[in-house]
Amino acid sequence: MYKYDEYDHQMVAARVAEFSDQVRRRLAGEITEDQFKPLRLMNGLYLQLHAYMLRVAVPYGTLDSRQMRMLAHIARKYDRDYGHFTTRQNIQYNWIKLEDAPAILADLASVEMHAIQTSGNCIRNISSDQWAGAAADEITDPRPWAELLRQWSSFHPEFSYLPRKFKIAVIAAEEDRAAMRLHDIGIQIVEQDGVHGAAFYVGGGMGRTPMIAPLIKDFVPLDDMLSYAEACLRVYNRYGRRDNIYKARIKILIHELGAEEYRRQVEEEFVHVKSLGIDPPKAEFDRIAAQFAPPPLDASAPDAIDRGDPDFAVWVDQNVAKHKVSGHAIVNISLKPVGGIPGDASSAQIDLMADLAEKYSHDELRVTHAQNIVLPHVRKADLHAIWQALDEAGLATPNLGLISDIIACPGLDYCSLANARSIPVAQKIATRFADPARQRDLGELKLKISGCINACGHHHAGHIGILGVDRKGTENYQLSLGGSGAEDVSLGTITGPGFDEDGVVDAIERVTDKYLATRTEGERFVDTFRRVGMAPFKEAIYG
C-alpha cells in the first residue's frame, strides 16, 4: 500500500490547518456562507438534509486496518455510530457538526487520509478495480498508475476549477469491475506485443445524459500516460461549457465535437504537453510501484476448502472469488443484509472488518463501487473462521452480484438533491426476494437505484435500474432494463410509465418471472433481455 512521503504529509497538514482557520472564521461570523461554501466543499463537507455530510476519500478504494479503524472511530466519536460506503469507493458521514470538522480532518491526516477533492469541479478520487493486485485475470496491478494519477491530480493548479467535476477510473483486467467506461476518463492497462500501455476511453458518464466513453486512444505508452491525461483535460478545460451546468461535463463536449475531432485536438495538445516533462522519471514510478508489491503469499497453501457446513458453502460459492495465487481467495463482504441499508456499516462492523483484514488479509481492505468491502488476500484455510466472524456481525449475507446486492444512493432520506427515496425501495426489493435459493436461481442480476437524475446509484448501468422522480410532490419510480457497467457496458432502456414504491417492486417481480420463463440454459437476465428485447418484458409489466 502507498505510504505518504513528506510532501503528502505536508500538503495534507497544511490543508487541515487552512480549513481549521476557515471554520473558525465562519463560526465567528467573519465570513458568509456564500464565501465559506466553496471552501468547505473543497474539503468534502456538504450540507445535506439533516446535517453536514463529510465525504472521505479512499484512494482507489484501498485502505489498511489502521485507516479502517479510524473510519470507525470517526463514526463513533463524531457521527451517529455508522458510515455509508459510496459508489465511488468513498465513505460518507451523515451527521457531522461543523465545529468538529477540523478535528475529524486532523484525525484522518494522522492515518494518511483526507477529504480533499471529494467535491467541487476538480478531479475526484481516482477509482479502480477492487480486486486489484489479487485478481486472477489482471495483467498487472493498476493501483500504481492510479496512485500516480492521484498525485498528479491533487491540487493540480490548472484543474482545480474545471467546467464540472471529473472522474477517472483505472483497471488492468478484461473484466471491468469499476464501470470504467462510465467515467470521464476510463483507463485500461492493456498489453501489446508484450508491452503494457494505457487505453484511454474518454467522455463517459451517467447523470441526466448518460454516455458510454468512446475509445480515444488504444495504446498510450505508460511513460506518456500522465501527459496524455493532461492533454485530455486541457482540451476539456479549454472548450468545456461553463455557461450551462447540464452541458458542462466532458461527455457533452466530446459528443458535440465528435470523438475524432476531440482526439485530433488531444493529440495536438499532447505534442506540446509532452515537451513539458510532467511524466515522472522511472525511478519515481518505481518508488511508487514498490509500495504495491504483492504481499508474501505462500502458493503452496492448501487449496481445498472444507464445505461441510452448507451455509458456509453457499457463502463461499457466492462471495468468494478466485485469487491469482493458489491456496488464496478474495473475500467479498456484503453490506447488503436483507432489509438493511445498502452500503451502511456500524462502527463495530467497520472495526471487525479492520480486525479481519489485519489478521487474515495482509492488513488490506478495499471499498467497492457496489458499496461492499473486500478482503483481497485471504488463505483458503482461513475462510471458515472469517465467515463465522462475519456471520456473527451480520456481514455474511451470501448475495454478491444477486438481486439483493443492490446499489442505492442515499436518496431523499439524506440527500438534498434527491427527488425520491432510494433506500426503502431497495429494502422492499431485497425483502421480496429474500429467499437465498430464489436469488441464486435468478443468478447475476445487477439492480441499481438512484433517487434523482444525477444517478449516484448508477441506475443507467443496472441490469434493472430504478430512477426516483418527483411527480407533483409524490415519489414515482421509473424502471429501466438492460444496462451494464461491466465490460459489456450498455445503458438501460426505460420500460414505460413509472410506479409508486410498492408498484415498482411488483413490476420487478413480473420482470424476473418473465426472465425465468424465457431464459435459455446459462443465460443471465441481461443476456435474455438483449436476446428477446423489451417487448415481452413490457407486456409482462403493463399487460
Binding site for another protein (CB under 8 A): 26-27, 29, 32-33, 47-52, 80, 94-99, 341, 412-414, 418, 421, 423-424, 427, 473-475
- Residue 223's SS3 state is helix
- Residue 136's SS3 state is coil
> Cα separation of 242 and 349, whole Å?
43
Main-chain phi, psi angles of 176, to 5 degrees = -95, 105
Q: Are 214 and 259 in contact (CB under 8 A)?
A: yes
Q: Are strands 91-96 and 185-192 parallel, antiparallel or unpaired?
A: unpaired
Closest approach of another protein to the CB of residue 333, in Å: 21
Q: Between 26 and 362, name the residue whose CB sits nearer to another protein.
A: 26
Phi-psi region of 443 (alpha: psi -120 to 50; beta: other; left: phi over 0): left
Q: Between 413 and 506, name the residue whose CB sits nearer to another protein.
A: 413
Residues 6+ apart with CB under 8 A from 76: 347
Closest approach of another protein to the CB of residue 348, in Å: 15
Closest approach of another protein to the CB of residue 213, in Å: 33
> Cα separation of 286 and 30, whole Å?
47
Closest approach of another protein to the CB of residue 124, in Å: 22
The C-alpha cell 472548450 sits at: 239
Q: Between 297 and 418, name the residue whose CB sits nearer to another protein.
A: 418
Q: Between 3 and 472, name the residue whose CB sits nearer to another protein.
A: 472
Q: Between 99 and 303, name the residue whose CB sits nearer to another protein.
A: 99
Write the burial class of residue 8 (CB in 10 Å: 0-12 exposed, 13-18 middle, 19+ buried).
middle
Q: Are 494 and 479 in contact (CB under 8 A)?
A: yes
Closest approach of another protein to the CB of residue 80, in Å: 6
Closest approach of another protein to the CB of residue 473, in Å: 6
> Cα separation of 16 and 27, whole Å?
16
67 strand-pairing partners: none
Q: Between 118 and 188, name the residue whose CB sits nearer to another protein.
A: 118
Q: Between 487 and 501, name the residue whose CB sits nearer to another protein.
A: 501
Closest approach of another protein to the CB of residue 449, in Å: 13
Write the burial class of residue 542 (CB in 10 Å: 0-12 exposed, 13-18 middle, 19+ buried).
exposed
Q: Are 251 and 203 in contact (CB under 8 A)?
A: yes
Which letter, b or e, does each residue of 421-446 get, where b requires 16 or more Cβ atoms within 10 Å of its Cβ? bbbbbbbbbbebbeebeebeebbebb
Closest approach of another protein to the CB of residue 99, in Å: 5
